[in-house]
Amino acid sequence: MSSFKPLVFSGVQPTGNLHLGNYLGAIRKFVALQESHDCIYCVVDLHSITAQLVHDDLPSQTRSITAAFLAAGIDPEKHIVFNQARVPQHAELAWIFNCVARIGWMNRMTQFKDKAGKDRENASLGLLAYPSLMAADILVYRATHVPVGDDQKQHLELTRDIAAKFNNDFSRRIGELGIGVEMTMGDETLNGFFPLTEPLIEGPATRVMSLRDGTKKMSKSDPSDLSRINLTDDADAIAKKIKKAKTDPEPLPSELAGLKDRPEAENLVGIYAALAETSREAVMAEFGGRQFSAFKPALAELAVEKLAPVAAEMRRISADRAYVDAVLRDGGERAGALAEATMKQVREIVGLLDD
């Protein structure tokens, strides 16, 4: 028996312009993890049709997220970059996980409640089952680590629950086939096939909030463009949005405790710290006691300095559609081979004949 090989997986939906929250909460971490891990990064197009089926621009959005991955510094040769629909094993494993997960688990997901809103009966079945597909995305590679923003924490807990139930339900069979990893669950030792994936949610910007309302997450689907900084915004747009960002009349505090009950101040300090790759404490040591009228221009300058090169590179890569498509095709082939190896064993465990 050996342990699971460390492997990073994460995905981003092609549902609109990427924003600073996606960049700081996810993509920048994807880039850093390449140094220490094998990584698989996916544009999760099948997820993007759960909330809204028809997207006129789905192919161009998929290419644009791919360009953002590459522009941020993801190496598609050393690692794997592809779009989910190219590897049908994701959907196949998701079906099996639909039979593992319980409806009650899905009904408790806050993202489902938020997105379905009051008219839950009218939400797509796909929206309810979204976390099961997300579990399949990760576990079809038996990935051990998943960098995400804080909003995905609950879905990752559910991924662990699905893996644990599958391992538990099929432990005997996994043992008989000799393809398991010995795992301790409570007082029991069992033969697990899927790892209990660890979320990687760290740093000062795990939940970047809207610039218009510090209690709401910065989101692609917020109708107000002023609520978010898009990765493609130019310097003027970034400066304008930060200037207009909601704040309170007090100066910045010098210590962390002073940010309590000041969500907008907390958000801007977190963004500054993440962009400057420092701690919130260090930002407050520098700006404590100063007004937002002094802090905001410094934040805008830093944001432009960090984001402008990514935006320029994204434009350059996006112009070469053949290159982007070649990256996705090659990544899809390599991901597909890995996913099929897992699914062969899953079919054997479950008892589904495939040859």
Catalytic residue set: 115, 217, 220
Q: How far is the CB of 218 from ligand AQP (least distance, A)?
A: 4
Query: Which H or E run contains 80?
Result: strand 80-83
Query: Which H or E run contains 191?
Result: strand 188-192
DSSP string, 129-150: HHHHHHHHHHHTTT--EEE--G
Quote the CA–CA distance of 17 and 220 in Å, as a whole number: 6
Look at the alpha carbons of 93, 99, 104, 105 in this order and tell me if their dihedral is positive or negative.
negative
- Does position 84 interact with ligand AQP (CB under 6 A)? The reply is no
* CB nearer ligand AQP, residue 314 or residue 346: 314
Question: What is residue 24's DSSP assignment?
Answer: I
- Does position 66 interact with ligand AQP (CB under 6 A)? The reply is no
Region from 85-93, 125-133, 146-154, 167-175 binding ligand AQP, contact rule CB under 6 A:
146-154
Q: How far is the CB of 123 from ligand AQP (least distance, A)?
A: 14
CA Rg value for the chain: 21
Q: How far is the CB of 228 from ligand AQP (least distance, A)?
A: 8
Pick the binder of ligand AQP from 60, 221, 291, 293 (CB under 6 A): 221
Q: How far is the CB of 176 from ligand AQP (least distance, A)?
A: 37
* Phi, psi at 15, each rounded to 5°: -115, 20
Q: Which residue has the tokens 């479950």?
A: 350
- Does position 218 interact with ligand AQP (CB under 6 A)? The reply is yes
Pick the binder of ligand AQP from 22, 167, 171, 247 (CB under 6 A): 22
- Does position 21 interact with ligand AQP (CB under 6 A)? The reply is yes
Taking a C-beta distance cutoff of 8 angstroms, is the pair 76, 30 a contact? no
Pick the binder of ligand AQP from 220, 246, 262, 306 (CB under 6 A): 220
- Does position 55 interact with ligand AQP (CB under 6 A)? The reply is no
Taking a C-beta distance cutoff of 8 angstroms, is the pair 201, 148 a contact? yes
Region from 93-101, 124-132, 144-152, 280-288 binding ligand AQP, contact rule CB under 6 A:
144-152
Q: How far is the CB of 354 from ligand AQP (least distance, A)?
A: 31
Quote the CA–CA distance of 128 and 109 in Å, as a whole number: 9
DSSP string, 213-269: -TTSB--TT-S-GGG--BTT--HHHHHHHHHHS---SSPPPSSGGGGTT-HHHHHHH
Region from 19-27, 124-132, 231-239, 307-315 binding ligand AQP, contact rule CB under 6 A:
19-27
Task: Name the β-bridge partners of 104.
Answer: none
Q: Binding to ligand AQP (CB under 6 A): which residues in 157-216?
A: 206-208
CA separation, residue 116 to residues 44, 241, 288, 350 (Å):
20, 29, 41, 32
* CB nearer ligand AQP, residue 49 or residue 284: 49
- Does position 64 interact with ligand AQP (CB under 6 A)? The reply is no
- Does position 62 interact with ligand AQP (CB under 6 A)? The reply is no
Taking a C-beta distance cutoff of 8 angstroms, is the pair 336, 42 a contact? no
Q: How far is the CB of 242 from ligand AQP (least distance, A)?
A: 16
- Does position 155 interact with ligand AQP (CB under 6 A)? The reply is no
Q: Mention every residue, 6+ apart, whose C-beta is less than 8 A from residue 123.
A: 112, 115, 116
* CB nearer ligand AQP, residue 20 or residue 174: 20
- Does position 314 interact with ligand AQP (CB under 6 A)? The reply is no
By beta carbon distance, the residue nearest ligand AQP is 25
Q: How far is the CB of 215 from ligand AQP (least distance, A)?
A: 12
Residues forming contacts to ligand AQP in the complex (CB under 6 A) are 12-13, 15, 21-22, 25-26, 148-149, 151-152, 206-208, 217-221
